[in-house]
C-alpha cells in the first residue's frame, strides 16, 4: 500500500473511532514506527490533516479544531484520483475549454496531491487522445449559459440558425438534456414556440439568455420515445425499418457496430451481413449508407432504396461519362 492510499485509510479509521492506540494503527496499516512518523508529518504539512497523541487517552486522535473530520481534497484513493484526472482530460480533449474555468482549481488540487506521490499529472495528457472529424466550432460562453440553464432547470431565450432553411428564428426553450453526438453538441428541449420537443445544434445557437422562469419538465420516458427511438440525431417516433445488406468484406467491420439499440442483424453463410434499423427521418441514415458505396445495398423500404439510387445517380452525374 502506497503512502497516498494509507492516508486515505487513516481517514477511514478515524471516522470510526475518536481515539486509536499507536499499536492498533501500526497493525491495521502494516507499517513501522518510522513510516508512521513520516505519514503524520506529511498529513500535517501537505494535507493540513493533523493526527496528534493524547496522553490522557494514551492514543492518537484528530486535532479537530473546526468540528469536521473531512480531509480536504482527499475523498479519493490514489487510483480514483488518476481515474478522475483521466476523465477530466478526456473532457478537455472532447471540447477544449468547456469546463476549464470551472474545474481548473480542482484539477490543480488533484495534480498537487498526485505530485506529492511522485506522479506527474500532466503526463496524462500525453496518454489520452481524441481525434475529431467534422467537428463544428462552438461558442464557449453560449454553451456555459445553456449548460447552467439545463442543470438549474431554467428556460432560455435563444437565437437559432436553421441551416436547412437558411433562416434565423428567436424562441424560448426549456432545455431537457445535453447530447454529445458525432463530435458535436445538441440540446434536446421543449420549444415553447412550436410546443413540441426538438433537438437544437448548440453551435447553431448564436445567442442565448437564461430566463428567470422554471423550465417545463418533460417525462424522461417521453423524451426517450420522442428523441431516441428514431435513427441518429433526428427525433421522432420510428415509423420505418431499413434493411441493409453489406458485402462480406465490409461486414467484418459493420457487424461490430451498433447503429441503433433496437437493431436486428443476420450474418449469412457467405459472410455477408444484413442489418435492420428503425428510423423516422431518412436524412442521416441515407448519409451513413452512402459512405459505404458499393459495399452496401438498401433492400427495404422501397422509398429509402429509391433515395439511395437517386443520390448515387446524381453523384455519378457530377463526374460525367469519363
3-state secondary structure the chain: CCHHHHHHHHHHHHHHCCCECHHHHHHHHCCCHHHHHHHHHHHHHCCCCCEEEECCCCEEEECCCCCCCCCCCCCCCHHHHHHHHHHHHHHHHHCCCCCHHHHHHHHHHHHHHHHCCCCCHHHHHHCCCCCCCCCCCCCHHHHHHHHHHHHHCEEEEEEEEECCCCEEEEEEEEEEEEEEECCEEEEEEEECCCCEEEEEEHHHEEEEEEEEEECCCCCHHHHHHHHCCCCCCCCCCCCEEEEEEECHHHHHHHCCCCCCCCCEEEECCCCCEEEEEEECCHHHHHHHHHCCHHHEEEEECHHHHHHHHHHHHHHHHHCCCC
Q: Which of 54-68, 139-153, 274-288 has the highest mean pLDDT?
A: 274-288
Q: How confident is the model at residue 88 (pLDDT cuts 50, 70, 90)?
A: low
* Rg, C-alpha atoms of the chain: 28
Average pLDDT of the chain is 83
Mean pLDDT of 79-87: 71
Is pLDDT at 107 greater than 50 in this prediction? yes
Inform me whether the pLDDT recorded for 71 exceeds 60.
Answer: no
Q: What Å distances lie between residue 82 and 39, 115, 120, 124, 131, CA to CA?
A: 21, 11, 10, 9, 22
147 band by pLDDT with thresholds 50, 70 and 90: confident
Is residue 299 classed exposed, middle or buried when 0-12, 13-18 and 19+ CB atoms within 10 A define those classes?
middle
Q: pTM for the whole thing?
A: 0.62
Domains and CATH numbers, the chain: 3-62 (1.10.10), 78-126 (no CATH), 140-227 (2.30.30), 240-318 (3.30.70)
* 89-105 pLDDT tens trace: 666 666 655 555 566 66
Q: Over the stretch 181-190, which tens digit does the pLDDT of each residue have?
A: 887 889 999 9
Of residues 259 and 132, more confidently modeled: 259
Q: How far is CA 305 from the centre of its chain?
A: 35
Which residue, among 138, 71, 156, 76, has the nearest Cα to 110 in the 3D structure? 76
Using pLDDT thresholds of 50, 70 and 90, give the confidence band for residue 207: very high
Predicted local confidence at residue 22, as pLDDT: 92
The pLDDT value recorded for residue 68 is 41
More confident residue, 11 or 138: 11
The grid coordinates listed for 53 are: 497523541
Amino acid at each position: 500500500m502506497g503512502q497516498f492510499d494509507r492516508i486515505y485509510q487513516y481517514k477511514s479509521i478515524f471516522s470510526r473511532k475518536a481515539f486509536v492506540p499507536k499499536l492498533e494503527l501500526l497493525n491495521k496499516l502494516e507499517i513501522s514506527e518510522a513510516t508512521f512518523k513520516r505519514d503524520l508529518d506529511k498529513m500535517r504539512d501537505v494535507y493540513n490533516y493533523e493526527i496528534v497523541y493524547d496522553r490522557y487517552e494514551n492514543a492518537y486522535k484528530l486535532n479537530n479544531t473546526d468540528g469536521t473530520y473531512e480531509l480536504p481534497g482527499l475523498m479519493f484513493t490514489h487510483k480514483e484520483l488518476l481515474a478522475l484526472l483521466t476523465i477530466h482530460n478526456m473532457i478537455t480533449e472532447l471540447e477544449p475549454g468547456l469546463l476549464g474555468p470551472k474545474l481548473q482549481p480542482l484539477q490543480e488540487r488533484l495534480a498537487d496531491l498526485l505530485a506529492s506521490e511522485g506522479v506527474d499529472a500532466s503526463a496524462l495528457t500525453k496518454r489520452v487522445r481524441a481525434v475529431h472529424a467534422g467537428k463544428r466550432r462552438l461558442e464557449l460562453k453560449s454553451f456555459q449559459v445553456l449548460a447552467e440553464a439545463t442543470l438549474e432547470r431554467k428556460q432560455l431565450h435563444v437565437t437559432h440558425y436553421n441551416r436547412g432553411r437558411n433562416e434565423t428564428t428567436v424562441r424560448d426553450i426549456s432545455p431537457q438534456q445535453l447530447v454529445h453526438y458525432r463530435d458535436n453538441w445538441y440540446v434536446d428541449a421543449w420549444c415553447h414556440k412550436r410546443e413540441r420537443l426538438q433537438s437544437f445544434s448548440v453551435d447553431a445557437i448564436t445567442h442565448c439568455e437564461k430566463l428567470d422562469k422554471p423550465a417545463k419538465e418533460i417525462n424522461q420516458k417521453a423524451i426517450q420515445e420522442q428523441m431516441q427511438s428514431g435513427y441518429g440525431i433526428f427525433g421522432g417516433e420510428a415509423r420505418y425499418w431499413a434493411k441493409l445488406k453489406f458485402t462480406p468484406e465490409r461486414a467484418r467491420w459493420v457487424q461490430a457496430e451498433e447503429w441503433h439499440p433496437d437493431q436486428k442483424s443476420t450474418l449469412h453463410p457467405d459472410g455477408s451481413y444484413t442489418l435492420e434499423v428503425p428510423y423516422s427521418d431518412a436524412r442521416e441514415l441515407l448519409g451513413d449508407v452512402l459512405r459505404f458505396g458499393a459495399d452496401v445495398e438498401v433492400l427495404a423500404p422501397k422509398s429509402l432504396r429509391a433515395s439511395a439510387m437517386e443520390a448515387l445517380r446524381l453523384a455519378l452525374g457530377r463526374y460525367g461519362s469519363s
